[in-house]
Amino acid sequence: MKRIVVLASGQGTNLEAILEAVERGEVAGRVVMVVSDRADAPALKRAGKRGIKALFMNPKDFKDRFDYDRALIKEIITAQADLVVLAGFMRLLSPLFIEAFPMQIMNIHPSILPAFPGTDGVEQAFNYGVKVTGCTVHFVDEGLDSGPVILQETVPVIQQDTIDTLHQRIHATEHRLFPTAIDLFCRDKLKVEGRRCYIVD
């Protein structure tokens, strides 16, 4: 069974969706550690109440992001993780970190990439006036939301939408899509060739 480490900075709703999917037997892996760069992150409490190691790593304790990432790499290797999942982790990971776990870092982004990358994908899509947006699960490379796409699902933008209501519907889709992608990884169903990620039998 694959071992998963989740990095999270915020509420941890995607983490919760992943943990619940694991508990239902829908993910062929288990979360062995949750790491946050914020001491008060609810994600740490979600992990702790399930008996999962919850680790706060304070960026202020490190000289720079490379020192931070070196320490984070060490923790992940010690946890014997097969997969690193970014669930609302707001720190920019260094090339050092990406190179340590090639095609073993997974992220979810609230748009249909490559459209609207960056921190405000929902707002970008809404303000642009698109009729359809959605979310993308992808492997992480050294670019901004630019790694190979694993899964995508569309979400229509309706006339009555606000940025908040659109965000809520995209979040609901993320909570289904992210565990599905993680399960595919855990069952060795993903194969990457160049930019293309294939689901194999």
Alpha-carbon Rg for the chain, nearest whole angstrom, is: 16
Rounded CA separation 23/49 (Å): 14
Question: Dihedral, CA atoms, 56, 61, 66, 68, nearest 10 degrees?
Answer: -10
- Catalytic residue (choose from 109, 138, 171, 175): 109
Burial track 177-199 (b if 16+ CB lie within 10 A, e otherwise): bbbebbbbbbeeebeeeeeebee
How many other C-beta atoms can be found within 10 angstroms of the C-beta atom of residue 162? Answer: 9
Whether the Cβ atoms of residue 81 and residue 4 lie closer than 8 Å to each other: yes
In the residue annotation, 171 being an active-site residue is answered as no
Number of C-beta neighbours around residue 115 at 10 A: 15
Q: Is 68 helix (H, G, I), strand (E, B) or coil?
A: helix
CB 43 within 8 A of CB 25: no
Residues recognised as catalytic = 109
